[in-house]
Amino acid sequence: MTAPMPSGCEVSWLRMEMYLLGDGGEAERDVVATRLQDCAHCRQMAAEIREDTRSLPMLPEVPEPWWRRLDLRWMVAPPVLVAALALFFVGPTADFPPAEVAVKGGNLAVETAIAADGRVQVRVTCPPGIEDLGIVVFEGREVFRPLEMPTCGNRVVAGAMTVDEPDDTMVCVAEGAAAVARPAQLGPMAACTPLR
Amino acid sequence: MDFYRRYGPAVLRKCERMLGNRQDAEDIVQNLFIDLIRKGRTDVGLAYLYRAATTRSLNVIRNRKRRQELLDRHGEALRPRGMGTEGEVVTAELLAELARQLDPKTLEILVYAHQDHMSQQEISSLCGLSRKTVGKRLQRARVTLESLAGGAP
């Protein structure tokens, strides 16, 4: 802690670990691969990870929750479909504070609310079948993308983000992470709502 | 268990960097994965695991600090020996000192910036904070770091 990591590599440990695991998108992999070609420090970092072959401690036998052992897809799919459609047309239930403005874009609708602890809650309503959502937040002149993003199916991400300027914040979601890659080019298929 | 085999080593390295101590790091990793498997949350990615591991490691560091204070109060004879290399202890000690002076979120951001070598943009995404907020908190943390380095309280 007395000094930053001596790596001198612009890629963080997390990004390097993800690259070596094959996680992350193609664009991200290209960036890291280029850094590995150009930067000896990055190669050293990668080597350090690869060479760490120490074994993991054994995990005791942990039973998975009973509902994970069942193949519930066919039992669950119809009710989920009905619930999702109901929420899509009727609106959210009372447990999620309604936002003053909820804007629909494409097949999506997004709502936000600020919890008592100041963190922002986000809920996306969308029809079943949408696997990949992208989210982007405009706070004043800042743009950022929280990693913990809402999934389709009306899951509320309770602490998706914290903002300093709630009066000047807009949250947008769109189908597909690529759709929010260029925030300036968000089209009518993105659902956006101001925070307040 | 595939989930554990895939991500466990990366999380273990992360915890070991923070704690400077393999045994504590292994305990955190084991408990973290056991909790996730029990909850059926084996679909999370490495970014999520990094955050969870960071929070748990900081808790261990805070507890160590409390334990150290107890040891100081109750005498040298109870002090444990061989807690890693000198450099590692300095790292963990400094973190423990910072834990007394910084709020948990700012401390977490400091770890990402100084130890995990993340950019402000990356921290912004990981923590769900604007880059400006990350920058402000880092600035605050660096002032505290400098005051510690200068010997101020």
State the complex-level ipTM: 0.73
**Are residue B106 and residue B78 in the same domain, yes or no?**
no
Give me the residue spans of the domains in chain A.
Answer: 1-57, 91-194
Instruction: Tell me if B70 sits within 8 A of B105, measured CB to CB.
Output: no
| Boundary residue ending a domain (B58, B84, B110) | B84
In this predicted model, what pLDDT tens digit does every residue of A56-92 receive, in sequence order? 888 877 666 555 555 555 555 565 555 555 445 444 4
pLDDT of residue A152: 67
Domain count, chain B: 2
CB pair distance less than 8 Å for B14 and A163: no
Amino acid A78 reads: P
Query: Which residue range is the domain that position B21 belongs to?
Result: 1-84
Position B12 confidence tier, pLDDT thresholds 50, 70, 90: very high
Using the predicted structure, report yes or no on whether residue B87 has a pLDDT greater than 90: no
Position A2 confidence tier, pLDDT thresholds 50, 70, 90: very low
Position B46 confidence tier, pLDDT thresholds 50, 70, 90: very high
Task: Average the pLDDT over B42-59 and give the result.
Answer: 90
**Are residue B120 and residue B61 in the same domain, yes or no?**
no
- CA distance, residue B124 to nearest chain A CA (Å): 7
Residues of B in contact with A1 (CB under 8 A): 90-91, 94-95, 98, 114-115
Query: What is the spatial order of strands in the sheet that A191-194 belongs to?
Result: A142-144, A133-139, A169-175, A191-194
Position B66 confidence tier, pLDDT thresholds 50, 70, 90: low
| Boundary residue ending a domain (B84, B112, B134) | B84
Closest CA to B45 of B56, B36, B57: B36
Determine the residue of chain A that is closest to B112 in CA distance: A12
To the nearest 10 degrees (0 to 180), the angle between helices B46-74 and B120-127 is 90
In a domain, B138, yes or no: yes
In a domain, B111, yes or no: yes
CB pair distance less than 8 Å for A52 and B40: no
Position A3 confidence tier, pLDDT thresholds 50, 70, 90: very low
In a domain, B2, yes or no: yes
**Are residue B45 and residue B119 in the same domain, yes or no?**
no
**Are residue B76 and residue B149 in the same domain, yes or no?**
no
pLDDT of residue B77: 39
Any chain A CB within 8 A of the CB of B73? Answer: no
CA distance B84 to B82: 6
CA distance A103 to A188: 11
Give me the torsion for CA of A179, A180, A186, A192, rounded to 10°: 110
In a domain, B114, yes or no: yes
CA distance B36 to B67: 28
How many Cα atoms sit within 13 Å of A149 on the Cβ side? 24
User: Residues 82..121 of A with a Cβ closer than 8 Å to B: which?
Assistant: 119-120
**Are residue B59 and residue B109 in the same domain, yes or no?**
no
C-alpha dist (Å) from residue B8 to A55, A61, B118: 10, 16, 20
User: Residues 129..168 of A with a Cβ closer than 8 Å to B: which?
Assistant: 137, 139-140, 142, 144-148, 159-164
Reported residue count of chain A is: 196
**Are residue B107 and residue B79 in the same domain, yes or no?**
no
